[in-house]
């Protein structure tokens, strides 16, 4: 699942990371290719419900996408999303588990 807000983030983040010297040109190319492959098969959803539950308000759109797409598991490395209490998440996005990739593989 992906929303318009997530697509915009996927579009701008790789170039910003490269400009800031956080990734190399080769990593930039690989990241763009991986994002393009993901988006090609992703279902685009329109978030209809606004949420305000994340410590970082810019992360709320991720949960809004999960709600719109009836997502069961959100894999993320974002600390603000990972630190949300399950009961808080489930009050707004029923059934959603927020996991790191490692926790997902271990489960």
- How far is the CA of 53 from the CAs of 47, 85, 89, 94, in angstroms? 15, 10, 8, 14
- How many angstroms separate the CA atoms of 25 and 64, rounded? 32
Structure confidence at residue 68 as a pLDDT band (50, 70, 90): very high
**Length of the chain as a residue count:** 107
pLDDT in tens, 80-104: 999 999 999 999 999 999 999 999 9
Q: Decide: pTM greater than 0.85.
A: no
Neighbours of 4 (CB within 10 A): 13
Cβ contacts of residue 98 below 8 Å, gap of 6+? 73, 74, 76, 81, 82, 84, 86, 89
pLDDT in tens, 1-17: 888 888 888 888 899 99
Provide the pLDDT for residue 8: 87
Whether the CB-CB separation of 2 and 65 falls below 8 Å is answered with yes
């Amino acid at each position: 699942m992906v929303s318009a807000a997530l697509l915009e983030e996927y579009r701008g983040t790789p170039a910003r990371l490269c400009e800031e010297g956080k990734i190399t040109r080769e990593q930039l190319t690989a990241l763009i290719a991986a994002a393009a492959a993901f988006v090609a098969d992703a279902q685009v959803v329109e978030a209809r419900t606004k949420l305000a539950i994340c410590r970082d308000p810019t992360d709320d759109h991720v949960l809004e996408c999960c709600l719109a797409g009836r997502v069961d598991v959100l894999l993320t490395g974002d600390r603000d999303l990972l630190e949300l209490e399950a009961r808080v998440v489930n009050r707004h996005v029923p059934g959603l588990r927020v996991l790191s990739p490692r926790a997902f593989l271990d489960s």
